[in-house]
């Protein structure tokens, strides 16, 4: 009887032991099975990591990227970041019930997130960033209540941000930037008391920024850059963010006054940074006096072109560590606060394009580290501070100085005698200059070049010095006796219109100064027999040379920079002068590149000046075929809209490396129609093959950027002038593309 009970007891113990072992084996096998299914869903493994490491014959806890817990020997972490894997996520991953970390950042996974991942209730760290996941952000993510980080950035998610994310009460970092998310920011986000970082930038979010209903002591960074957020910011928003350090709200449509509560954030390090959306300002109203309450460690205060009104509060002098103040392009009035003179670390002060009055504070002389001071286009008066001089006599000793402007102010004092031999260019004919004789300008040998000097500089206008031919003349490379290299545009006066072209180009270039416009050094005019312009030499030649040479190459960033430079030049010509200037002949040959590859617009021989209140004129002078707007070619109608059409064509040519006059474009087929056809049919050959020589994710990022630029080109080359967008808008669009490209390339390298 005793033996019977003993045997029965042993049988029961054996049964439960086997069951326990079986259960343990089953759970390990469950994890292994789920990972093997994931392996099967990976269609490309460039480094063969999964192929060589993930084998059923090896313990799953020893597989690459897999970590197991010491207690239960279950898979607790899966990190496959940066392996270049291509594939989809199987629903079997939801069986990894002990998983606390899931990182597959920087791969090429696509498709939707399987709902079975909602079973991972132990998950704390989730990163699917830099992939190609699509569909809506799942609402079931809100059920993963142990999450500390949720990274879904740089994917293709659409739709709205689920309200349920506000249930993640332990969340510390939320990264959803660079998707295609729309709708409004859910108010529930600001219910998460543990949140430290929220980045929703580079999406299509709209509506207003929600109120913050409670104190969020942990929140240090908010980034809502590059969305379509509108309306006023909540007045009390910053009352509940005492530890906010960084705030990014640029490239939105925000309006209203700056909430006074903002300046209660004493730890704020970066505020109102890089506001470039000039026509849709975030700020209206005034800077409150409590601006001085910001952190004394603040280094950058930038609110350029934000429609700020009123005066600059003297309390800005409390921000003792400021390095850069950018308040240009606003509606500021009153005087420059003397307290700015106490900012000993200040290196750059930009207050240009405002309505500031009074004198320049002498206390600015205390700013020993100040390198850049921009005060142009204000209503300043009185003497220049003594540390600078009336007009500093020492300027004459600055041998490399090429531009010195004190224009559009009311500065008093005399012109230093040391300037007597520094004058260059043509002597103005109007104003007070009518009262001077030529004797007044003796000693200024740089005022005009003689025919003999230019002939000597170009070896007799030798063909070996020929840089190119234009509509009305030829351009030669010249070398002055001091070694300076110049470009000499000699006009062919026998051609009809050449004389007028010389006069027009002199007039335009004399009255325009901009970094992206070719600079005139001087001129030479010998009655009606010889006329030439002496220009700054562009060592890297024209955009045309770089596009069509077999030995030279521009990458996507260089091409984008060139287009931004050209767009900026056109914006200046159209809107930066009292008299709008229409270039009329925009093409790659007229885009020159300096030694730093900065583009400068040239050839102003057929420009048209629009009189006040006149936006359209007619002309008989024809521009270059292929770049002309339809209304220009048919009716001779000239307007800034025509330049915008030409710029659209130039954008497409720069990206496709196809000249609009290429023999492939005949009949009804044009560069524009070919681009539309190619994009619609998803044909890759629309983009210059040289740009697509990269591989992997870099290839895709370059292609996406190129296609975005082509889309802008199509928008600006609309057939009807009224359908073409404003030149200010294209500058903003291209700069956004550059920011995104740089960010993308930083992640893929």
The domain that holds 649 is classified in CATH as: 1.10.510.10
231 and 288 together in one domain? yes
Q: Higher pLDDT residue, 355 or 238? A: 355
Per-residue pLDDT band at 439 (split at 50, 70, 90): very low
Query: In angstroms, rounded to a whole number, what is the distance separating the alpha carbons of residues 191 and 11?
Result: 57
Closest CA to 334 of 348, 349, 351: 351
656 membership: H or E segment, kind and range: helix 640-656
Query: In angstroms, rounded to a whole number, what is the distance separating the alpha carbons of residues 289 and 316?
Result: 8
Helices (H), 133-172: none
Query: In angstroms, rounded to a whole number, what is the distance separating the alpha carbons of residues 543 and 563?
Result: 10
| Structural domain for 497, as ranges | 447-536
Domain for residue 111, yes or no?
no
Examine the pLDDT at 4 and tell me if it is beyond 70.
no
Examine the pLDDT at 606 and tell me if it is beyond 50.
yes
Closest CA to 686 of 717, 718, 708: 708
Domain for residue 672, yes or no?
yes
CB atoms inside a 10 Å sphere around CB 438: 8
514 and 631 together in one domain? no
**Residues facing 593 on adjacent strands:** 599
Mean pLDDT confidence for 456-467: 88
Mean pLDDT confidence for 667-681: 81
Which pLDDT value is given to residue 420?
A: 52
Per-residue pLDDT band at 76 (split at 50, 70, 90): very high
Domain for residue 125, yes or no?
no
Examine the pLDDT at 427 and tell me if it is beyond 60.
no
Helices (H), 347-459: 451-457
Helix or strand or coil: residue 614? coil
The domain that holds 351 is classified in CATH as: 3.80.10.10
Least confident of 46-55, 300-309, 451-460: 300-309
Mean pLDDT confidence for 660-685: 78
Task: Collect all residues with Cβ–Cβ distance below 8 Å to 476 and sequence separation of at least 6.
Answer: 458, 461, 462, 465, 466, 467, 487, 488, 490
Which pLDDT value is given to residue 652?
A: 92
227 and 334 together in one domain? yes
Query: Torsion-angle region of residue 391: left (phi > 0), alpha (psi -120 to 50) or beta?
Result: beta
Query: In angstroms, rounded to a whole number, what is the distance separating the alpha carbons of residues 607 and 629?
Result: 15
Domain for residue 175, yes or no?
no
489, 518, 536 - which closes a domain? 536
Which pLDDT value is given to residue 381?
A: 86
485, 501, 536 - which closes a domain? 536
**Residues facing 531 on adjacent strands:** 525
730 and 690 together in one domain? yes
Domain for residue 40, yes or no?
no
DSSP string, 524-549: EEETTTEEEEEEE--TT-BHHHHHH-
**Counting Cβ atoms within 10 Å, is residue 620 exposed (0-12), middle (13-18) or buried (19+)?**
exposed
Which pLDDT value is given to residue 122?
A: 96
Contact 188, 167 (CB under 8 A): yes
Which pLDDT value is given to residue 185?
A: 96
- Percent of the chain whose predicted confidence (pLDDT) is above 90: 29
- Most confident by average pLDDT, 427-431, 721-725, 735-739, 741-745: 735-739
Examine the pLDDT at 318 and tell me if it is beyond 70.
yes
249 and 331 together in one domain? yes
Q: What is the DSSP letter of 124?
A: -
Q: Higher pLDDT residue, 210 or 619? A: 210
Q: Higher pLDDT residue, 287 or 98? A: 98
Report residue 40 as tokens: 């099967």
Which pLDDT value is given to residue 120?
A: 96
pTM for the model stands at 0.57
Task: Collect all residues with Cβ–Cβ distance below 8 Å to 677 and sequence separation of at least 6.
Answer: none
332 and 371 together in one domain? yes
Helix or strand or coil: residue 485? strand
Report residue 2 as tokens: 């005793």
Q: Higher pLDDT residue, 632 or 439? A: 632
Helix or strand or coil: residue 102? strand
Domain for residue 455, yes or no?
yes
Examine the pLDDT at 16 and tell me if it is beyond 70.
no
377 and 241 together in one domain? yes
Domain for residue 191, yes or no?
no
Q: How many domains does the chain have?
A: 3
Examine the pLDDT at 80 and tell me if it is beyond 80.
yes
Contact 157, 132 (CB under 8 A): no
User: pLDDT tens-digit profile of 173-195?
Assistant: 999 998 999 999 999 999 999 99
User: pLDDT tens-digit profile of 248-268?
Assistant: 887 777 777 777 777 767 776
Which pLDDT value is given to residue 574?
A: 79
465 and 371 together in one domain? no
561 and 612 together in one domain? yes
Mean pLDDT confidence for 269-285: 45
How do strand 617-618 and strand 637-638 relate by DSSP bridges? antiparallel
Contact 427, 440 (CB under 8 A): no
381 and 494 together in one domain? no
Least confident of 68-82, 255-269, 606-620: 606-620
Active site residues: 585
Q: Higher pLDDT residue, 47 or 75? A: 75
Contact 229, 253 (CB under 8 A): yes
Which pLDDT value is given to residue 562?
A: 94
551 and 527 together in one domain? no
Least confident of 213-217, 395-399, 454-458, 671-675: 395-399
Mean pLDDT confidence for 336-342: 92
Buried b (16+ CB within 10 A) or exposed e, 277-313: beeebbbbebbbeebbbbbeebebbbbbbbbbbebbb
Report residue 641 as tokens: 């809209």
Examine the pLDDT at 546 and tell me if it is beyond 50.
yes
Query: In angstroms, rounded to a whole number, what is the distance separating the alpha carbons of residues 391 and 532?
Result: 33
660 and 573 together in one domain? yes
503, 536, 569 - which closes a domain? 536
Which pLDDT value is given to residue 274?
A: 34
Q: Mean pLDDT, the chain, as a whole number?
A: 79
Domain for residue 81, yes or no?
no
500 membership: H or E segment, kind and range: helix 498-510
Query: In angstroms, rounded to a whole number, what is the distance separating the alpha carbons of residues 535 and 489?
Result: 7
Which pLDDT value is given to residue 20?
A: 42
Q: Higher pLDDT residue, 166 or 480? A: 166
- Percent of the chain whose predicted confidence (pLDDT) is above 70: 76
User: pLDDT tens-digit profile of 499-518?
Assistant: 776 776 676 666 666 678 88
Query: In angstroms, rounded to a whole number, what is the distance separating the alpha carbons of residues 583 and 552?
Result: 27
User: pLDDT tens-digit profile of 552-599?
Assistant: 889 999 999 999 999 988 888 877 776 777 777 888 988 999 988 999
198 membership: H or E segment, kind and range: strand 197-199
CA-to-CA separations, 149 to 168, 224, 599, in angstroms, rounded: 10, 18, 44
Per-residue pLDDT band at 13 (split at 50, 70, 90): very low
The domain that holds 455 is classified in CATH as: 3.30.200.20
């Amino acid at each position: 009887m005793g033996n019977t009970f003993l045997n029965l007891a042993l049988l029961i113990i054996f049964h439960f032991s086997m069951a326990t072992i079986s259960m343990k084996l089953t759970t390990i096998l469950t994890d292994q099975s789920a990972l093997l299914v994931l392996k099967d869903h990976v269609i490309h493994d460039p480094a063969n990591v999964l192929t060589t490491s993930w084998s059923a014959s090896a313990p799953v806890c020893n597989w690459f990227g897999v970590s197991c817990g010491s207690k239960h020997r279950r898979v607790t972490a899966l990190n496959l970041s940066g392996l270049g894997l291509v594939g989809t996520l199987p629903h079997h991953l939801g069986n990894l019930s002990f998983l606390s970390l899931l990182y597959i950042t920087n791969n090429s996974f696509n498709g939707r997130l399987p709902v079975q991942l909602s079973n991972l209730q132990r998950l704390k760290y989730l990163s699917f960033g830099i992939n190609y996941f699509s569909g809506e952000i799942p609402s079931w993510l809100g059920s993963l209540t142990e999450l500390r980080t949720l990274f879904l950035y740089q994917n293709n998610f659409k739709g709205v941000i689920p309200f349920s994310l506000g249930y993640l009460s332990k969340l510390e970092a939320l990264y959803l930037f660079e998707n295609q998310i729309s709708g409004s920011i859910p108010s529930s986000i600001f219910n998460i008391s543990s949140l430290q970082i929220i980045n929703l930038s580079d999406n299509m979010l709209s509506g207003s920024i929600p109120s913050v209903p409670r104190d969020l002591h942990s929140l240090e960074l908010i980034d809502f850059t590059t969305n379509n957020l509108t309306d006023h910011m909540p007045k009390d928003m910053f009352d509940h963010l005492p530890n906010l350090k960084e705030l990014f709200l640029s490239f939105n449509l925000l309006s209203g006054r700056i909430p006074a509560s903002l300046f209660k954030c004493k730890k704020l390090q970066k505020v109102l940074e890089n506001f470039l959306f000039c026509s849709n300002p975030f700020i209206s109203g005034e800077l409150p006096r409590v601006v001085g309450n910001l952190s004394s460690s603040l280094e950058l205060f930038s609110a350029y072109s934000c429609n700020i009104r009123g005066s600059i509060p003297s309390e800005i002098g409390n921000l003792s560590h400021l390095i850069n103040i950018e308040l240009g392009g606003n509606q500021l009035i009153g005087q420059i606060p003397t307290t700015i003179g106490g900012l000993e670390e200040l290196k750059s002060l930009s207050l240009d394009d405002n309505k500031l009055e009074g004198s320049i504070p002498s206390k600015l002389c205390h700013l020993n580290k100040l390198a850049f001071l921009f005060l142009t286009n204000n209503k300043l008066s009185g003497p220049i501070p003594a540390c600078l001089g009336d007009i500093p006599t020492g300027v004459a000793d600055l041998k490399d100085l090429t531009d010195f402007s004190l224009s559009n102010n009311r500065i008093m004092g005399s012109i230093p005698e040391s300037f007597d031999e520094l004058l260059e260019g043509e002597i103005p004919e109007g104003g007070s200059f009518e009262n001077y004789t030529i004797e007044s300008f003796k000693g200024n040998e740089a005022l005009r070049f003689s025919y003999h000097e230019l002939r000597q500089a170009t070896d007799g206008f030798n063909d070996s010095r020929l840089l190119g031919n234009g509509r009305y003349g030829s351009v030669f490379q010249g070398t002055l006796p001091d070694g300076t290299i110049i470009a000499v545009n000699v006009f062919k006066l026998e051609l009809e219109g050449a004389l007028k072209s010389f006069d027009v180009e002199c007039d335009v270039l004399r009255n325009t100064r901009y970094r992206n416009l070719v600079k005139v050094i001087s001129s030479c005019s010998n009655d009606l027999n010889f006329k030439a312009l002496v220009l700054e030499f562009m060592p890297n030649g024209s955009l045309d040379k770089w596009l069509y040479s077999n030995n030279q190459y521009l990458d996507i960033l260089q091409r984008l920079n060139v287009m931004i430079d050209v767009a900026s030049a056109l914006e200046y010509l159209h809107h930066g002068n009292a008299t709008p200037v229409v270039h009329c002949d925009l093409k790659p040959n007229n885009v020159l590149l300096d030694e730093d590859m900065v583009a400068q617009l040239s050839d102003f021989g057929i420009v048209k000046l629009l009189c006040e209140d006149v936006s359209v004129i007619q002309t008989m002078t024809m521009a270059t075929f292929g770049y002309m707007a339809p209304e220009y070619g048919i009716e001779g109608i000239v307007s800034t809209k025509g330049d915008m059409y030409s710029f659209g064509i130039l954008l497409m040519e720069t990206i496709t490396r196809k000249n609009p006059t290429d023999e492939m474009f005949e009949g009804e087929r044009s560069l524009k129609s070919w681009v539309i056809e190619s994009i619609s049919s998803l044909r890759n050959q629309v983009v210059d093959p040289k740009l697509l020589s990269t591989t992997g994710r870099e290839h895709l990022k370059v292609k996406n950027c190129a296609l975005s630029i082509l889309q802008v080109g199509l928008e600006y080359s609309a057939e009807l002038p009224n359908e073409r967008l404003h030149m200010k808008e294209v500058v903003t669009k291209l700069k956004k593309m550059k920011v995104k490209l740089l960010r993308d390339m930083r992640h893929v390298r």
